[in-house]
Amino acid sequence: MNAEEFRQNVEDGQTPITSHDDVLRIAFIYSYDPFNKDGVFDDVEKLHKRGWSFGHGDMKFNRTLDVFYLAQIAAAIWRYSDQADGEFPQPDDFDAFYAQQHELLNQDAWRQYYSPDFIAQPTSARFYRLPNLQDLPDSSGELGKPRKKGVGHFTKLPRWAYNVTRTHWRQPTLSVTTISKIALSTLQQTILQLQKDCSTTQFQIQPYSKTQACFWLKYMDMDSSLDPVPMHVQKWNINAPYDFGVNVALGLYDMWAWEAHYSPELWASMSSANEPLLLEPDLDGTGKSEVSGCGWPESAGVVAEAWRSGWEPEVGSEEEIAFLAAVALKEAEGLVDMSSNLDYAVRSHMLLGVMRAAFVADRDDQVENLKKSMVQAGRLDDDTTAEQWIRQALIVMEPYARKLHGLWPDAEDDRTRLFRNILEENGQLFARWQFSPRLKEFAFKLKPRQIT
């Protein structure tokens, strides 16, 4: 049967969806819907609405898994069109398309991109997250212009460095030196944990390299000369959701910028967990980038297509969230049980205040006090908005209070550990990434904080 007949039959229940290939075929057909303005995020809603998912058992309706396969379809369409003289496949071409792009689309393809532990996390089930083992196909360069540099996780360190730098620009409560130390430490810890998680698989995780990490921090302008934040940076919308993937698609960042500074041999030699010192470049930095970028009006189409293709996550990576959590802990250091000293212009202090409220008996009084303090601090517009923000944060934190039978931990170390767990296991609390318009999750957005 042709594509339209297949769609009508499965939507009417005449043809049951019984296999991975069936879900893939209907998802492929949905990708051609002319009203599909949000791409993979529209398609996943259509699948879930009808009870279809690429996952089974505990993985059924796992949002990361399902959007991943939709993103793979988008990438495979680009690849198929490259090999077919620019002619894009049509809905009736599914069999030939799948046969040619089977490596990207088969039912075990996700295992080459996600570690089992990461994709099974509750956060990954609720929010779309990018792969933690390698990049989505062709997503490490300009959209539609893959450089065929091989398979790898080329965006991992640049994306992490982008997050670190913008965190410092957004909330300069900590010095660039402190932020950098936290960033490097948490990066090393998360890489070691990922290596441990993948120790029984054939997948090789690139070891931590301080030199490579520091190169990307410098590339993203994480430099003491930007402390405090200069006026030209303040004029940017640094409080907007992160859009690293879109910037890569536009050609604003080059994932191989290091090639102008390091020979491939030296760069590869840095991939050692025992690297003792920062290694100096062995090239003069004059090598020309292959990235050309694009201007207006082409850029508008690229932005939309990168978003539609799943290049932007709804919640970030382990290393990004571990870093943000550690920054929050540093900002709240010594205040875990001193609610009267909290600065409600600081997100970490706001979350700490809500965590304390999750354990008190007079909840309504505590919420009322928090609400007034947050509005006065200027991060939320009014009492209604503030109460909604607080109530939604309480929904996240109350399960942790129930596990402790509502008893506030006596020891400061235990309270700090509790706060860390909440932050690391609920990256959406940082509100650094853009949610799909159809995602029925609360976005913990705040008004920009005044930079002085």
pLDDT of 84 higher than 70: no
Given a contact cutoff of 8 angstroms between Cβ atoms, the answer to whether 330 and 174 are in contact is: yes
Average pLDDT over residues 243-271: 91
**Closest of 163, 168, 159 to residue 136, by C-alpha:** 159
Question: Rounded CA gap, 335 and 365, in Å?
Answer: 21
The H or E element containing residue 382 is none
pLDDT band per the 50, 70, 90 thresholds, residue 200: confident
Residue with token string 């994306």: 159
Question: Rounded CA gap, 167 and 321, in Å?
Answer: 11
**Closest of 260, 256, 258, 247 to residue 293, by C-alpha:** 247
SS3 243: coil
pLDDT band per the 50, 70, 90 thresholds, residue 242: confident
**Closest of 272, 129, 169, 136 to residue 213, by C-alpha:** 272
pLDDT in tens, 327-352: 999 999 888 665 568 999 999 999 99
Structure tokens at 114: 């996600």
The H or E element containing residue 393 is helix 383-403
Tell whether pTM > 0.85: yes
Q: Output the average pLDDT for the chain.
A: 90
Residue 241: cis peptide before it, omega within 30 degrees of 0: no
Considering the chain, what percentage of its residues have pLDDT values greater than 70? Answer: 91
pLDDT in tens, 269-324: 876 545 667 889 999 999 888 888 776 667 788 999 999 999 999 999 999 999 99
